[in-house]
Amino acid sequence: MIEIHFLGGCAEVGKMGMLIDTGTEKFLWEFGFNVQTKEGPIEPSINLDAMFVSHAHMDHSGLLPKIYSMGYNGPTYCAPATADIMEILHRDSIKIQVREGEPLDFTKRDLKRFENSIMFLRPGETEEFTQSTVSFFNAGHIPGGVMMLLESQDKRILFTGDTKLIDTQLMEAGDTDFSNIDVLISESTYSYMNHPDRKMLEDSLKRIVNETVHGGGICLIPAFAVGRTQEILMVLADLDVPIWVDGMGRKVTDAILKHPESTKDHKKLKLAFSKARKILRQGDRDKALERPGVIITTAGMLNGGPVVYYISRLFEREDCALVMTGFQVPGTAGRNLLDTGEFVNEEQELSVKPKMKMEFLDFSAHTDKSHLIDFYKKVKPKKIIVMHGENTEEFAAELREMGFDAEAPANGDKIEIV
């Protein structure tokens, strides 16, 4: 019998954590911000045999170092690009907690121990344990992102991680060639909608950039540091416009470029990034604001970072544009701006109604409803468990109507596979 304990990420996007107990081994799959550990079965973490993480996003990897502070000493398996991106994100999360005066989730020493315990497993590779094996496959989501397959006691359990099942500029589509899957644990971020045609989105972005820059304005593109900054760089690679990159996206692109295997077209990304001008200090920001061009910068949801400065300088300019390229979580400055037309940043005491042209383009790195369902039809798993989504119960019910055996567990639930 195999037990899966759902620690987080059920009926919510993020906070992922699963404890897999094969009877012989205990594995932790993901441990992200902010899984609750108090009552969960994770306390005896010293008994874990191994930890695995599908990709570097903090909702999957954020609290892994904390497990080391609880006495765990074993390995954490991930793809090489994931390790390098996590290094940047984890250090940044400590910095933010120190700055905000919050208690630290883990110390730099715990982080070092975590980093020293990382074992690389690449897509197509398998690690063997006493009774089970775990294999990695491409997830198509962000560089380093994998799906994980556990084989144990004649059962095959596949976890999609976060996945994108069509090609993007940055990534090849996730793998879909699986058979004899007993349990498919699937992300379902976009179980309720389909994304617009990708080519159309790319054309829209190029059109807005061309119109703005050739009209004498600046096109400000807030973008997540991991995945989105690089995707936007590649979409705009063929345009003849000056492009600046600011914020953490710069560092993350350097980390991704160390791993040519982690992207679809390493050469193109390398060229696009080498052509872009890097913003290293405040003076560069003012330089970027002097003439027409594109500025790609964090934070993707406008909650801080250099984007706030740019908005404070550009908000009155009707010849400029602000293009949001990712989902804006309710409560963020970006969502507030989309909903009310007002940009608020308390730290900078800024509250303005930008006159810039505003656009939202859904460059999501998650697969959508129709591609999820196509995937299930192709793989034909005996059971589907949906998580990492806000509408998991509705989605599971819909899948059952289509003839799948599907369920949506709640955090704290345990599923037994016999």
* Amino acid found at 53: V
CB closer to Zn ion, 54 vs 297:
54
To Zn ion, the closest distance from the beta carbon of 409 in angstroms equals: 17
Class of residue 316 by CB neighbours under 10 A (exposed 0-12, middle 13-18, buried 19+) = exposed
CB closer to Zn ion, 59 vs 110:
59
In this structure, are residues 65 and 35 in contact, taking their beta carbons and an 8 Å threshold?
Answer: no
To Zn ion, the closest distance from the beta carbon of 352 in angstroms equals: 31
Question: Residues 4, 19, 51, 59: which binds Zn ion (CB under 5 A)?
Answer: 59
CB closer to Zn ion, 65 vs 293:
65
Give me 320's structure tokens. Answer: 């400029």
From CA 144, how far away is CA 130, in angstroms rounded?
26
CB closer to Zn ion, 212 vs 230:
230
Q: Give every CB contact of residue 207 below 8 A, 6+ residues apart in sequence.
A: none
From CA 242, how far away is CA 153, in angstroms rounded?
57
To Zn ion, the closest distance from the beta carbon of 85 in angstroms equals: 11
In this structure, are residues 318 and 268 in contact, taking their beta carbons and an 8 Å threshold?
Answer: no
CB closer to Zn ion, 19 vs 387:
387
Q: Which stretch binds Zn ion (CB under 5 A): 44-52, 87-95, 155-163, 252-260?
A: 155-163
Q: Does 30 bind Zn ion (CB under 5 A)?
A: no
Residues 236-275 that bind Zn ion (CB under 5 A): none
In this structure, are residues 61 and 86 in contact, taking their beta carbons and an 8 Å threshold?
Answer: yes
CB closer to Zn ion, 14 vs 293:
14
Q: Does 162 bind Zn ion (CB under 5 A)?
A: yes
Residue count, binding to Zn ion (CB under 5 A): 3
To Zn ion, the closest distance from the beta carbon of 61 in angstroms equals: 9
CB closer to Zn ion, 309 vs 363:
363
CB closer to Zn ion, 105 vs 162:
162
Pairing status of strand 293-297 against strand 183-187: unpaired
Question: Residues 57, 156, 164, 371: which binds Zn ion (CB under 5 A)?
Answer: 57
How far, in Å, are 6, 17, 94, 407 from residue 413 at the CA level?
A: 6, 12, 31, 12
Q: Could you tell me where the beta strands, DSSP code E, fall in 32-175?
A: 50-52, 76-78, 118-120, 126-128, 132-138, 146-152, 155-159
From CA 111, how far away is CA 76, in angstroms rounded?
12
CB closer to Zn ion, 110 vs 162:
162
Catalogue the long-range contacts made by 92-98 (C-beta closer than 8 Å, 24 or more residues apart). 92/248, 93/33, 93/58, 93/62
To Zn ion, the closest distance from the beta carbon of 16 in angstroms equals: 6
Q: Does 231 bind Zn ion (CB under 5 A)?
A: no
From CA 41, how far away is CA 284, in angstroms rounded?
50
To Zn ion, the closest distance from the beta carbon of 55 in angstroms equals: 6
Q: Which stretch binds Zn ion (CB under 5 A): 49-57, 165-173, 297-305, 349-357?
A: 49-57
To Zn ion, the closest distance from the beta carbon of 18 in angstroms equals: 13
To Zn ion, the closest distance from the beta carbon of 237 in angstroms equals: 24
Residues 66-105 that bind Zn ion (CB under 5 A): none
To Zn ion, the closest distance from the beta carbon of 162 in angstroms equals: 4
Q: In degrees rounded to 5, what are phi and psi of residue 169?
A: -65, -35
Which chain residues interact with Zn ion by CB under 5 A?
57, 59, 162
